[in-house]
Amino acid sequence: MKLILIGAPGVGKGTQAKYVVEKYGIPQISTGDMLREAIRDGTALGKKVKAVMDSGALVTDEIILDLVKERIAKDDCANGFLFDGFPRTIPQANSLVSQNIEIDHVIEIHVPDDEIVSRLSGRRIHLESGRVYHVHHNPPTVEGVDDITGEPLVQREDDKEETILERLKVYREQTEPLVSFYKEMSQKQGSKLSYHKTDGNGDSDDIKNVIFDILDN
């Protein structure tokens, strides 16, 4: 099973990815993890990545694809994998096709932008412990303070509305075109790819069951 989850920041991809990994025993592969592992292992490719990153330049799509090919050749990918944060762009998706890296399922998790802003901007964090609250869905007993320590809660920069709106803008410009790309691919004659769109609103267990039904059928 080779799977890609697509969706804007805050739709719950991370939560659903964990469910899929646990149920089907496939690894979750992120570009960030691959970059760190390559540098840590000191492979020829890892040294190349380190040199690029040390220079302050962006890692090219060509290097990312080489990392992907190296990673999915490992034993734990024998039964498949789940791509996390890859591909992000049409050129990256085209690179997978040109390298004959087949994908079985693409699942889009959709949540309206106003709900995403509400979800993320309402988060409050106790920095020392990492405890997470939400002003509407999981509020602290006393507004603005941690239940255990009584210390103040903070809103991370990433959770501020203006930051969220900028992240959504980048997603719409760079990653959302993948929706059309994979829809069209799934409709081509002889394609093995299945594309599904699922509602990301509601209970995470209900969304999980919808995704499991897609993958099991």
Task: Tell me the C-alpha distance between 59 and 53, whole Å.
Answer: 7
Residue 96: pLDDT band by 50, 70, 90 thresholds?
A: very high
Catalytic residue among 88, 131, 183, 208: 88
pLDDT tens profile 138-169:
999 999 999 999 999 999 998 999 999 999 99
- Strand-pairing partners, residue 194, are 105
Q: Is the pLDDT of residue 58 over 90?
A: no
CA end-to-end span of the chain, whole Å?
A: 12
Q: Annotated catalytic, 156?
A: yes
172 is known as an active-site residue: no
Question: Which of the four pLDDT bands, split at 50, 70 and 90, describes residue 85?
Answer: confident
Predicted confidence (pLDDT) at residue 189 exceeds the cutoff of 90: no
pLDDT tier at 78, thresholds 50, 70, 90: very high
Q: Is 124 a catalytic residue?
A: no
Query: Exactly one of 167, 183, 197, 208 is catalytic; which is it?
Result: 167
Inform me whether the pLDDT recorded for 120 exceeds 80: yes
When pLDDT is averaged across residues 119-126 and rounded to a whole number, the result is 95
Among 173, 177, 217, 195, which Cα is nearest to 107's? 195
Residue ranges of the domains in the chain? 2-26+79-111+174-216
CA-wise closest residue to 133 among 143, 125, 141, 142: 125
Average pLDDT over residues 79-84: 94
Given the residues 2, 13, 119, 124, the one annotated as active site: 13
13 belongs to the catalytic site:
yes
Planar angle of CA 169, 137, 139, nearest 5 degrees: 115
Mean pLDDT of the chain, nearest integer: 92
Q: What is the pLDDT of residues 9-37, one digit of tens each?
A: 889 998 999 999 999 999 999 887 888 88
Kindly state the tokens that stand for 84: 């996390």
Strands (E), 26-116: 28-30, 81-84, 105-110
Sequence-ordered list of residues with C-beta below 8 angstroms from that of 154, at least 6 positions apart, any chain: 124, 125, 127
Q: Under a CB-based contact definition with an 8 Å cutoff, are residues 178 and 87 in contact?
A: yes
The catalytic residue among 36, 40, 47, 156 is 156
Does the annotation mark 88 as catalytic?
yes
Report the pLDDT value the prediction gives residue 102, as an integer from 0 to 100: 92
In this model, does residue 116 exceed pLDDT 90? yes
Q: How far apart are CA 212 and CA 96, in angstroms?
A: 25
pTM equals 0.84
Which top CATH class is 2-26+79-111+174-216? Answer: alpha beta
